[in-house]
Amino acid sequence: MPSYTPPLRDLRFVMHELLDVVGTLKASPRHADLDEDTLNAVIEEAGRFASEVLAPLNATGDAEGCRLDKSTHEVAAPAGFREAYAKFVEGGWPALSCDPAYGGQGLPITMNQVLYEMLNSANQAWTMYPGLTHGAYECLHAHGTPEQQATYLPKLTSGEWTGTMCLTEPHCGTDLGLLRSKAEPQADGSYRITGNKIFISSGEHDLAANIIHLVLARLPDAPAGSKGISLFVVPKFLVQADGSLGARNPIFCGALEHKMGIHGNATCQMNLDGAQGWLVGQPHKGLAAMFVMMNAARLGVGIQSLGLTEVAYQNAAAYAKDRLQMRALSGPKAPDKAADPIIVHPDVRKMLLTARAYAEGGRALAIHTALLIDLELSSPDEQVRRDAADEVALLTPIIKAFITDNAWLATSHCLQVFGGHGFIREWGMEQFVRDSRINMIYEGTNTIQSLDLLGRKVLGDNGAKLKKFGKRIAAFVEDEGTDEAMQEFINPLADLGDKVTKLTTELGMKGFQNPDEVGAAAVDYLRVCGHLVFAYFFARMAKVALQQQGGGDPFYAAKLNTARFYFQKLLPETAGLIRSARSGSASLMAMDEALF
């Protein structure tokens, strides 16, 4: 069975030495009392919960799965999940970064991100239950009426109730303009909602007393397409005036999806048969309101894959140090043993370092983005808030797509390190691979994220957001350009920055002539941008490590080695990607459909 050790040293490095989370947030009155000791204590305790409570349930939850009682429509989560959730609530973890006005602890979003990385490493399927709840909280916090906020937010904050988002229907996934669910207005101001939803994560379970569904549906006078979608809050149990639970609302789980992975999470087909709901936000403006939750979920999915990358790496590295197989090409390294441990072999090291680099780069990007969200929400400086919001918008599709693509590669590499044993369930590696695959699909496939990045976030504003991030890179390059020790990191970073600028201009001109050119290049383009962002953070991490390595702490030597590996072995992928992006759409679109 695999194990998990929280990467506390690297988390502290990113928070304090790389990003200076405390110093950055202290300017905000909301976080004026923040200090490093508090953050360190929180992440240490979070890591203990993840490794001691959740990790032991990961393999057993995967093997057991969820169970639906078709006579009652009730779903039971795997053994131990409910008890673990009770401990999670008792520890106050759902409230960590929530608004104190609703019972939250008011800690930075950054802390919540760190918590969820460790939870996902330990048990992604379990973590999806509270993870989606936080998105529902954010949506209602931003768009709910005062009455809705008073009714739902305290219970979502405490974790007594959980939340979902009900978007997808059998005939439409990302193209929500096609959805058919209907909402009929009632005399009391509520609505009766009828329709069918699929792929609803955590749609039904026995972890919490109530489940608050956020449902997209159409009003009778709704215009066609995405401009005719409204958002409704639909509780599993109706909430009475005194806050107690009343009658069962007719929103039921009709079936559980049989999936490749995340078996411990109840992915449900939900049937609404005149379920009572209440409008959230303005009529026909539901998609904009739901985007609060969708964007939170996209960031959350990236964190799921970051967690899986880390735990897969840990177990593969431990196995490679222990497994004896063949001799090193350069001569025996363990002559007293029958064979050398496989970690002496260059390609095994390449696979391990790929996973390690993608974990460390993803961690820096994820915590940086969470810090930007904190600035967007709490900085007293309007310009800082605006710039932070722009950068979050730019980085969100990169986090979702680049980190999840990397996790698919990394978990597969880590399975490969185990050889045939990796393909066997008892070692746990095949579960990490299976669980990671969904992350490239849901909350908008990675192709959708790529189109969002290139089409909307970059070309949509003539590159304004990208130029802002480019200025961040240019300033760093300028500051470090004369440091000889930094040249191995600065030169390729600066070179890739120039190439991204030229590629963006070229694709913009081609896309103006033929929109298919954007579609043909988008996935390659996002991966190039992902590498640009990772290169920037690895260069910054290398700078800190160079400054600190004289103290003899092996952590900094390892950080430098990982950065060098990234620049020498992973970043060169961008050359082929740029060439592919420039090759255009002709070869993709030329073949007659009948020949496929």
Strand partners, 172: 169
CB 506 within 8 A of CB 581: no
Strands 191-201, 210-217: pairing is: unpaired
Q: How many CA atoms lie within 13 A of 533 on its CB side?
A: 31
Alpha helices in 418-463 (DSSP H): 429-437, 446-451
243: alpha, beta or left? (left if phi > 0; alpha if psi -120 to 50): left
Cα dihedral 155, 156, 159, 161 sign: positive
DSSP-derived secondary structure for 269-293:
EEEEEEEEEEEESSTTBHHHHHHHH
Q: Which residues, other chains included, contact 98 with Cβ-Cβ below 8 Å and sequence gap of 6+?
A: 104, 105, 106, 137, 153, 157
DSSP state of 456: I
C-alpha dihedral, 297 to 174 to 399 to 211, nearest 10°: 10
Alpha helices in 91-227 (DSSP H): 109-143, 146-158
CA distance linking residue 137 with residue 148, whole number of Å: 11
DSSP 566: I
Q: Which of 139, 132, 151 is nearest to 201 (CA)?
A: 132
Between the alpha carbon of residue 547 and those of residues 18, 531, 554, the distances in Å are 12, 24, 13
Query: Parallel, antiparallel, or unpaired for β 237-239 and 210-217?
Result: unpaired
| 578 CB neighbour count, 10 Å cutoff | 21
Question: Count of alpha carbons within 13 Å of 31, Cβ hemisphere only?
Answer: 27
Both tokens of residue 8? 């506390």
Output Rg (C-alpha) for the chain, integer angstroms. 24
**CA-to-CA distance for 510 and 87, rounded, in angstroms?**
55
Pull the structure tokens for residue 157. 């904050």
């502290």: which residue's tokens? Answer: 12
Choose the catalytic residue: 117, 391, 430, 443: 443
Q: Is 169 a catalytic residue?
A: no
CA 232, CA 221: separation in Å to the nearest integer? 16
Q: Among all residues, which ones are annotated catalytic?
A: 443
